[in-house]
Amino acid sequence: TRGGGLVRGRRPIVRSPRGRLSRSERAAGRGTFTTDCRGAGLQPSVTTEIRIEPAREPQAAALGIATGDEVCVRERVMRGGDEVLQLAISYLPRTLTAGTAIEQPNTGPGGIYARLEDTGHHLTRYTEQVTIGRATDHEARLMGLSAGEPIFRVRRTAWAGDLAVEINDIAITGNRYELLYDLPAK
């Protein structure tokens, strides 16, 4: 309580890879971030910058391509309501994106994963590496945080068989998200 009244926190945004990465969500026309926002009752909006550039060594190694090969870079500022919740930079081999909606700001229903599957790249798995980091000055400014505030850093790789089709470096506000992993027992 504060001043005799009850103070309620904002509803957390639950980020569950099982639901957000599902084909059923893509078939319903939702991408991963749209699914997160929908579950939290927020209206999603995304500002996207697209560029083509030579792959630097870390991206090339992660994608299994040569350093200098062209990649499509999709850099996004992702808002729920009027709050920036995520910053995401995807790198995709240009051999997969040239001439597709992936190189457009609005990729259409289901996002880039639906477009990859439209071109015959059936997604078979995702890997995510999650760390905690401190917001850089640039991230803090965009996300409305204090510099050095904790954020989740997620590197997701999308796979079509043995082919890495996308790496996505994501910065997520640590004060709003709850990460949920529902894993089958084997």
Check residue 18 and give its pLDDT.
58
**What's the pTM value of the predicted model, to 2 decimals?**
0.83
Residue-level pLDDT, tens digit, the chain, 186 residues = 344 443 345 666 766 565 555 555 555 555 567 767 777 788 888 899 999 999 999 999 999 999 999 999 999 998 988 889 899 999 999 999 999 999 999 998 888 999 999 999 999 999 989 999 999 999 999 999 998 999 999 999 999 999 999 999 999 988 887 777 776 676
Largest CA distance in the chain: 62
Check residue 174 and give its pLDDT.
82
Please choose, from the candidates 135, 133, 127, the residue with its C-alpha nearest in 3D space to the C-alpha of residue 181. 127
Check residue 60 and give its pLDDT.
97
Q: What residues are paired with 127 via a beta bridge? A: 157
